[in-house]
Amino acid sequence: MTSDATYPSLALHIDGEWIGQGNRAIHNVVNPATGGTLAELPLVSADDLDRALDAAERGFAVWRRTDAATRAQVLKTAAGLIRERADHIARIATLEEGKTFGEARIEAQVAANLFEFYAEECKRTYGRVLVRPTGSRSIVVKEPVGVVAAFAPWNFPIGNPARKFGAPIAAGCSVILKPAEESPGAAIEILKALLDAGLPTGVAQLVFGEPDQVSRHLLASPIVRKLSFTGSIPVGKHLLKLAADTVKRTTMELGGHAPVIVFDDADLDQAVQMLAMAKSRNCGQVCVSPTRFFVQEGIYDRFRDAFAERFGALKIGNGLHDGVQMGPMANPRRPAAMARLIEDAVSNGARLITGGEAIGDEGFFWQPTVLADVPGTARIMNEEPFGPIASLTPFATLDEVVERANSLPMGLAGYAFTQSAKRAMLIGDALEVGMVGINVATTAAADAPFGGVKESGHGAEDGPEGLDACLVTKAIHQQ
């Protein structure tokens, strides 16, 4: 039942068939800008999951024997369809997740870029031949890992499903994807683009359900050879344990708590402008969002005032409305978490410079918030905030800030702003993270690895590394 004309009706996709509610349980998909229900989402039964496993096994048998040029053509055609349908897909993403229409449109283009990159990259899956002086030889070949069980969160309703499908399909794997139940519509559109491009039956299944039930069922199956998860660190640890029983390959993209280091010699205007934009992106609900702002003493006051002025002045509202620069948070759990983190920081001695409150009584809006002089003991300096809060703290020396930046168990992204080439090199080397932005506040590109170290996860998505993560090697020794 769809109450918004532009939001599609929702279904599961198993073994080439779109499956509606029948007598299945449902989940209400909510518009975060209004709190109203958009549509009812059918949830899988255990039988559905068994069917999905069986279909994926058969789909893999077909797809692994399909030549790279055909796989490439499917991905390339799907990319073209996503570009054609970008406005439609973006509107769905904004309705179900809240982000601005402009951001959602960019996300659709990024998804198309990724499919195009993998359409090229999958043609370059080479092995090697080791010729022995005795005349014997060893051949090293790369083969697709098998059926992939993938779990994607709600924060990039278009980009996350594109990542979970792109590299495995390029590699010759089949996929069972469970996107977040909060943002199913855009995931369905990405799958439709792949199917309309000619993806054979069984190569991609889309399931929604009670997350714990779905992941336990799929990860207990020996048919699944790889787990690919994006989400929080606690859920990631839980899934790693489930995957251990059948020793599956894993790619884990878990949370971060990105340090951003602004040195005295930074271009202040550039740093303020880029960081305010990065912090507002998807209302701060981004795993690589700048979160811990370490600002050198000589520039601290000026940065704090300029950043608070710019960030605090953003136009907040429904992401579909013109001129809106930041939408609501994605679900009611996030504003509740913001309130707790801010109260804790202030009671530990932080100063609230701007924001700090929910906006209105409809939807899940939160003011852009800046906290200054935040002590390292505050919860917000240790837990990923996943919201529009910047926590500022001053530092004196490079050695001191490196130690503080690296002090957490996570290591996803880190940023630095400086005009010194030497300092840029030193900080790039010193940060214990998977991705560093220097004088930029972005870290993702189709051709570069995206992933973290420490408890932020392992294995990268995007780039040649993302394809490699879907391949296994075999050495064939021949006399």
Residue numbers annotated as active site: 253, 287
Specify the residue, 204 or 330, whose C-beta has the smaller distance to ligand NAD.
330
Using the rule CB under 6 A, is 231 a contact of ligand NAD? yes
Query: For ligand NAD, which residue of 113, 215, 282, 354 counts as binding (CB under 6 A)?
Result: 215
Contact segment (CB under 6 A) with ligand NAD among 72-80, 153-161, 294-302, 428-436 equals: 153-161
Using the rule CB under 6 A, is 388 a contact of ligand NAD? no
Question: Sheet of 147-151: strands edge to edge?
Answer: 17-19, 12-14, 204-206, 174-178, 147-151, 224-230, 249-253, 457-458
CA distances from 379 to 66, 251, 337, 374, 408 (A): 51, 28, 11, 10, 12
Q: Least distance (Å) from ligand NAD to the CB of residue 457? A: 8
Contact segment (CB under 6 A) with ligand NAD among 109-117, 225-233, 314-322, 348-356 equals: 225-233
Specify the residue, 405 or 410, whose C-beta has the smaller distance to ligand NAD.
410
Using the rule CB under 6 A, is 228 a contact of ligand NAD? no
Specify the residue, 215 or 280, whose C-beta has the smaller distance to ligand NAD.
215
Contact segment (CB under 6 A) with ligand NAD among 150-158, 292-300, 390-398, 428-436 equals: 150-158
Using the rule CB under 6 A, is 97 a contact of ligand NAD? no
Using the rule CB under 6 A, is 210 a contact of ligand NAD? no
Specify the residue, 255 or 411, whose C-beta has the smaller distance to ligand NAD.
255
Using the rule CB under 6 A, is 253 a contact of ligand NAD? yes
Q: Least distance (Å) from ligand NAD to the CB of residue 256? A: 7
Q: Least distance (Å) from ligand NAD to the CB of residue 396? A: 30
Using the rule CB under 6 A, is 411 a contact of ligand NAD? no
Q: Least distance (Å) from ligand NAD to the CB of residue 284? A: 10
Residue carrying structure tokens 């020794």: 477
Query: For ligand NAD, which residue of 111, 114, 180, 195 counts as binding (CB under 6 A)?
Result: 180
Query: For ligand NAD, which residue of 2, 109, 232, 348 counts as binding (CB under 6 A)?
Result: 232
Q: Least distance (Å) from ligand NAD to the CB of residue 216? A: 8
What does the H/E/C string look like for the chain?
Answer: CCCCCCCCCCCEEECCEEECCCCCCEEEEECCCCCCEEEEEECCCHHHHHHHHHHHHHHHHHHCCCCHHHHHHHHHHHHHHHHHCHHHHHHHHHHHHCCCHHHHHHHHHHHHHHHHHHHHHHHHCCCEEEECCCCCEEEEEEEECCEEEEECCCCCCCHHHHHHHHHHHHHCCEEEEECCCCCHHHHHHHHHHHHHCCCCCCCEEECCCCHHHHHHHHHHCCCEEEEEEECCHHHHHHHHHHHHCCCCEEEEECCCCEEEEECCCCCHHHHHHHHHHHHHHHHHCCCCCEEEEEEECCCHHHHHHHHHHHHHCCCECCCCCCCCCECCCCCCHHHHHHHHHHHHHHHCCCEEEECCCEECCCCCEECCEEEECCCCCCHHHCCCCCCCEEEEEEECCHHHHHHHHCCCCEECEEEEECCCHHHHHHHHHHCCCCEEEECCCCCCCCCCCECCEECCEECCECHHHHHHCCEEEEEEEEC
Using the rule CB under 6 A, is 251 a contact of ligand NAD? no
In degrees rounded to 5, what are phi and psi of residue 401?
-70, -30
Using the rule CB under 6 A, is 384 a contact of ligand NAD? yes
Specify the residue, 208 or 303, whose C-beta has the smaller distance to ligand NAD.
208
Query: For ligand NAD, which residue of 115, 208, 386, 450 counts as binding (CB under 6 A)?
Result: 386
Tell me the C-alpha distance between 70 and 76, whole Å. Answer: 10
Using the rule CB under 6 A, is 155 a contact of ligand NAD? yes
Q: Least distance (Å) from ligand NAD to the CB of residue 164? A: 12
Using the rule CB under 6 A, is 255 a contact of ligand NAD? yes
Query: For ligand NAD, which residue of 147, 235, 308, 444 counts as binding (CB under 6 A)?
Result: 235
Contact segment (CB under 6 A) with ligand NAD among 3-11, 19-27, 234-242, 458-466 equals: 234-242
Specify the residue, 53 or 199, whose C-beta has the smaller distance to ligand NAD.
53
Q: Which residues bind ligand NAD (CB under 6 A)?
A: 151, 153-155, 180, 211-212, 215, 230-232, 235, 238-239, 253-255, 287, 333, 384, 386
